[in-house]
Amino acid sequence: MLSILYHRRRRNEARPSLSLLDLEGRMALPRDYLVFTLWYLRAKGYVKAEDNSDFSLTAAGMDYLEAESSHNQMAHELMWPRRASVGPAYRQQFPAGESGCVA
């Protein structure tokens, strides 16, 4: 879930949040599982509920995810595009060995 919200924030800075319905559709999990997970992530300070009931990633959530992505291949792949699928401009901006991550 953090990876999905991370990707959303990077791709759509004007609207970085997703609704519970959006998360349910993207994750293909029952709402009950998502509600529990969102409760936990909110309690840890990794996710916040916006005024319109959408959920967005916090700076603490981003820091946690970036730190853990080096240990979790799935999270890493969700956060960063594969080098084969990115164009020359991305490769030029972030040469091999650099992630483009702002720590």
Q: At 64, which helix (H) or strand (E)?
A: helix 59-68
Q: Which two tokens stand for residue 11?
A: 């791709």
Question: pLDDT 10s digit of each residue in the chain, 103 long?
Answer: 898 898 899 888 889 999 999 999 888 888 888 999 999 999 999 999 988 889 999 999 999 988 887 777 776 776 665 654 444 444 454 444 444 444 3
